[in-house]
Amino acid sequence: MEAYAYARPTTLDEAVSVLAAHAKEGRRTQILAGGTDVLVQMRSVDREPRMLVDVKHIADTNRLEIGSETVFIGSAIPSAILNENQELKALFPGLIEAADLIGSTQIQGRASIGGNLCNSSPAGDTIPAIIAASGVCVIAGSGGTRRVACEDFVTGVGTNVLGADELLVGLEFPTPKGRTADGYLRFIPRTEMDIAVAGAGVALTLDDGGTCTAARVAIGAVAPTALLVPAAAEALIGTTVDDEALAAAGAACTAASSPITDKRGTIEYRQKVVAVLCRRAGANARDRALAR
């Protein structure tokens, strides 16, 4: 029987070379950040032994930098640290709302938004929020570093653009300026501990008169991957993000969705609720932007 193995690189180079060496030999590797998805999968659906590459001991994956132009969030930083960062919370209330929604306090102590993205579940809570906030994935590999827009990172249910010799170093966001703010809401049956039945993230910029000049709307758990919904953004741009505009944006989300019926909800339910969430998250983002 093949055995499990564990590596704990301390530099990006070391991590990449471990990944590349195993890839070359055709041996399986899996990157371990918070482990809150990886360990569950190892224990149930996929017991096959592999090399676990722990990326939590690398400076770059733990870097949290808030600059005047960009914000960088290392891929291994647990949600709890993000939630406790008041500056980050003020800049990205929606993104931090999403990070705060991943599981329990215990899960927050381990789970990272980078891991949430790399797990690439259709229902990953932070993915729509990251997309709405214009996140860019910074990826390291044997060929050097490359950057991929978050909306292009996840390619299907559980799959993404990472090569076998690559890892996600972190996420880079444009620092919100002026009256720019975001909001994220998901629907779950309980108040905590559930996987999103549907989710919507909205980021808005308003001018001095309160008219929306830029918007990004992304939805989750209603398609094989989280989706950017340009039609929903267009419904908001040029408006004061009033009820009518929000309803139109919500309808655009429903139209863009292609959900399934499963143990967590029906097609009809998800189509309806994604519109409700878009409206409510959009209103939150608007009120926050107006308050700036």
Interacting residues of 60 by C-beta distance below 8 A, sequence separation 6+? 12, 74, 140, 169, 170
Rounded CA-CA distance 62/13 in Å is 15
Told to check if 268 binds other proteins by CB under 8 A, we report yes
Give CA angle at 273 (269, 278), nearest 5°. 155
User: Computed over its alpha carbons, how large is the radius of gyration of the chain?
Assistant: 19
Number of C-beta neighbours around residue 19 at 10 A? 27
Of 191, 208, 209, 243, the one binding other proteins by CB under 8 A:
191
CB of 205 to other proteins, least distance (A): 27
Q: Which range binds other proteins by CB under 8 A, 45-53, 63-71, 140-148, 238-246?
A: 45-53
- Total of chain residues touching other proteins, rule CB under 8 A: 48
Told to check if 157 binds other proteins by CB under 8 A, we report no
- Smallest CA-to-CA distance from 161 within 144, 174, 149 is with 149
Q: Which range binds other proteins by CB under 8 A, 171-179, 193-201, 207-215, 227-235?
A: 193-201
Told to check if 195 binds other proteins by CB under 8 A, we report yes
Of 40, 59, 149, 255, the one binding other proteins by CB under 8 A:
40
- Smallest CA-to-CA distance from 79 within 55, 100, 95, 65 is with 100
User: Which residue intervals of the chain are DSSP H helices?
Assistant: 12-24, 38-43, 79-83, 86-91, 93-101, 105-108, 113-119, 126-132, 230-236, 243-256, 267-290
Across the beta sheet with 167-174, the strand order is 64-66, 70-74, 167-174, 136-141, 144-149
CB of 29 to other proteins, least distance (A): 12
CB of 265 to other proteins, least distance (A): 5
CB of 120 to other proteins, least distance (A): 18
Are 199 and 209 in contact by the 8 Å Cβ rule? The answer is no
Are 251 and 272 in contact by the 8 Å Cβ rule? The answer is no
Q: Which range binds other proteins by CB under 8 A, 9-17, 21-29, 46-54, 140-148?
A: 46-54
Rounded CA-CA distance 22/215 in Å is 42
CB of 276 to other proteins, least distance (A): 5
Q: Which range binds other proteins by CB under 8 A, 42-50, 66-74, 147-155, 162-170?
A: 42-50
Q: Locate 157 and state its tokens.
A: 């249910």
Q: Which range binds other proteins by CB under 8 A, 14-22, 51-59, 136-144, 157-165?
A: 51-59
Told to check if 114 binds other proteins by CB under 8 A, we report no
Pattern 118-147, other proteins, x by CB under 8 A: ------------------------------
DSSP state of 225: S
Of 170, 183, 265, 282, the one binding other proteins by CB under 8 A:
265
Sites of contact with other proteins (CB under 8 A): 1, 3-6, 8, 32, 34-36, 39-40, 42-44, 47, 49, 52, 54, 56, 78, 80, 103-107, 109-110, 187, 189-195, 197, 262-266, 268-269, 272-273, 276
